[in-house]
Amino acid sequence: MTQHLADALPTSTGTQPGWWREAVIYQVYPRSFADSNGDGMGDLEGIRSRLPYLKELGVDAVWLSPFYASPQADAGYDVADYRAIDPMFGTLHDADAVIREAHALDLRIIVDLVPNHCSDQHEWFKQALREGPGTPLRERFHFRPGQGAHGELPPNDWESIFGGPAWTRVADGEWYLHLFAPEQPDFNWEHPAVQDEFRSILRFWLDLGADGFRIDVAHGLVKAPGLPDLGRDEQLKLLGNQVLPFFDQDGVHEIYRSWRRVLDEYAGDRIGVAEAWTPSADRTALYLRPDELHQAFNFHYLSTGWDAPALREAIDDSLDSMRPVGAPTTWVLSNHDVVRHRTRFGSLERARAAALLMLALPGSAYVYQGEELGLPEVTDLPDEVRQDPSFFKANGQDGLRDGCRVPIPWSGDQAPYGFGSGGSWLPQPAEWAGLSVEAQTGDPQSTLELYRTALRIRREHADLGAGDAVEWLTAPEGVLAFRRGGFVCTVNTTGEAVRLPAPGAVLLASGELADRDLLPADTAVWWQG
């Protein structure tokens, strides 16, 4: 354990676990989930109409990626108004309807919050530009004079996550900081007005009934004093663990303590979930001390390959790092920023086995829309349809995030497969006809029915869900085997069948079992031990 964690606040005190400790949370990417009005873009009414599907799937909560008013320079992560809905998604009435209907189905709603930066069309930023250097509104952002004889050089050497300098010069000669796209100016979280505004935004959505917030770039709000140079030529990574003067600064924790006080004002276990890329799992745990946030995404696990020793190490490290702060470990295989895990792992068989492994682990699991259908990454999108801003930066990220954002298939044998009546904003592959919800429903061999069954067993089995430990069992090389009470999970990550005595009765298998004592290649099995 590192010194950082040893200095943490007192650990959790055996209070009754909240719903989030074992929840399965489904991520909806609104523009790609369901289109109600035929404009080719998913919307809130489309989401509302498909909530019964999510209830039947067996998830506990739904996380909605941003639907706020936005110029859409970065798919809605450039927010112009945090209390308004972008017309492409509907109205505030539609958002209210989604929350109300979800609650009627006993589903919780987590909304995405983007506090590190806003849109350059946000009224605060537009007014700051109008008012000019040295005025109070500029202090809510990071405006600085440039370097060089005439201020023609950026204030420091920071690079944008999307490539190029993290600074843009405005007409009056000052520069403003944007760790992401130039259309996304960073807030100055040292300013009291910024802190007050976001506490107000939290209350706005909590008053509307939101059950919690997924906090975008939760590690990025506070910058090191003086904005020091990096001093090295290094391309930043959107999903990485570099030690940087603008990520994972200790000052972020006081912000989240103040947010926790707001969350605790409301009944019903409202939660905060950190998207926090940090240098270590121990550093991530600091966000989850008892008076801060409730969960953080487990990127260590997400970035682990299909390899038994590496997976076991990631599982142990994850559980060990969360235990001292009393927080549940989270598990995630895919999201809107990474290549879908079926493609990353190389086969549908591995993806199915990985799903059963994830859902067997103690804590909370996140499911990205379409993974329950076994969707692969779409790797052949034409350049002219891509919208990921990093795609247009030659020295930025890979620009491949569009491939995991293609609208999901619901029904029918040709595009847009029931997504809506007016096509889809990104083209869907022809082979997706066989992967639609309609095509897979009722087929016991389908990935959709595998997820439905796994989630049902997970809810019903006393030894699954919340917890903070697994008991590893002796297993052949390349095989993971662990027990949780009367439940056993075995996973073969190798390309060959492995003989392993059956530890009990089969509950569920990701592939066909011809011999109970022979674990097929790339297969996971749940047992009643």
* Residues with active-site annotation: 216, 275
Q: What are residue 492's phi and psi, to 5 degrees?
A: -100, 110
DSSP string, 363-408: SEEEEETTGGGTPPP-----GGG---GGGG-TTSS---GGGG-SPP
Residues in Cβ contact with 388 at an 8 Å cutoff, skipping those fewer than 6 apart: 75, 397, 399, 400, 401, 402
Distance in angstroms (rounded) separating the CA atoms of residues 157 and 231 = 7
Distance in angstroms (rounded) separating the CA atoms of residues 20 and 64 = 16
Tell me how crowded residue 232 is: count the other CB atoms within 10 A of its CB: 6
β-strand pairing of 81-85 with 68-69: antiparallel
Vertex 28 angle, CA 122 and 463, to 5°: 130
Tell me how crowded residue 337 is: count the other CB atoms within 10 A of its CB: 17
Identify whether the C-beta of residue 120 lies closer than 8 Å to the C-beta of residue 183.
yes
Q: Which two tokens stand for residue 191?
A: 């300013």
Q: Which two tokens stand for residue 483?
A: 């027990």
3-state secondary structure of 518: strand
Cα torsion angle, 43, 45, 51, 53, sign:
negative
Q: Which two tokens stand for residue 401?
A: 């995030």
Distance in angstroms (rounded) separating the CA atoms of residues 279 and 294 = 19
E strand or H helix at 262: helix 252-263
Distance in angstroms (rounded) separating the CA atoms of residues 232 and 512 = 52
Side-chain half-sphere of 96: how many Cα atoms within 13 Å? Answer: 8
Residue carrying the six token digits 């290094």: 234
End-to-end CA distance of the chain: 33
In total, the chain counts a number of residues equal to 529
For residue 31, count CB atoms less than 10 angstroms from its CB and return exposed for 0-12, middle for 13-18, buried for 19 or more. buried
Q: In angstroms, what CA-CA distances link 353 with 323, 372, 492?
A: 26, 12, 8
